[in-house]
Structure 1
Amino acid sequence: MQDSLKNGVSRRTVVAGAAWTVPAIVVASAAPAMAATPIVTIGVGLACKHPGNPKHYHFNLTVKNNGGTTTTVTITSIVLIPTSGQNVTFSTLPAPFDVAAHSSVCVVVDSDLTANSANGTLKVGYDYTDSNGQTQHFDAAIDVSSIPPCQQIGVPDYPHPNYSC
């Protein structure tokens, strides 16, 4: 007791103060992980394959802007990594497009000709401008483990230039 009166601080006060600093450290270290979350996200709304000769994959990509300002999105790469066979490329990419704040845009993409028709993972690389005018790049890996034939779900045969989401 005499030590706490001389110094003005007891060991209990020091220990209690140390306990309060731990949550502050945890919160501070969690902030960088949250900063890495993209404002714009991409998912697959519809996926199918055009079987036969030629074979193509068809995807309706849902591009969602979770931010508070309109942004321009540029899809820089798309590749399907199938569970069997070679990677499938998408050399015809959509032109850059705007997505309004708190809204979504649907974009239709078809793969290049492929001998493959397996399911797998769709990887989409994309850029967008953030609210500070800075370009951000992200790569989305989307599981497409169930890709039915397009005819079963009403998507017209390939090519289908007037088809939209």
Structure 2
Amino acid sequence: MWGIVAVNTKVFKEISIERVTDQDYKKITKARFFFNWKTERQNCVYKLRILESEVILGLISLTHYPEESRIEINLLAVSKENRGKEKQYDDIAGNLIGFACREAVNHYAEIACVSLIPKTKLKKHYITKYGMEDAGKHICLEGLALFRIIEKYIDESGEIK
């Protein structure tokens, strides 16, 4: 089962990661998610929400590059209330990255790669927290590092932890 943990209470909440719908775009504001997500409609955009709620807590935009066996994370955002020291839930970004890794393996098997071009100030964070490799402009997960992220966030049934 996929899940996140409430920071204050340590209560586990089951989550769902699913495609963003046209109706969702009406609720996704730049003030809450820091980007104009409507510009990502041509990509594969997914939302993370708690199962018993329709409130979107995180978003990820993915582009597939089959000739490179790679998925690129174009944008990744956690809602405003889930950032920083006062955040409500932990591991939203990790679950979205784990989802991208699982998708890459589903499409490209053992040669899968997930990459992103980070903002300068986040590059070190992604390398430290998620084990991404510095590949110049991009940072990436492949091989053992990619499978470690899947193992951390995805259980044996294929569901996100």
* TM-score by shorter chain over 0.5: no
TM-score (norm 1): 0.23
TM-score (norm 2): 0.23
More helix by share: 2
Structure with higher Rg: it is 1
More strand by share: 1
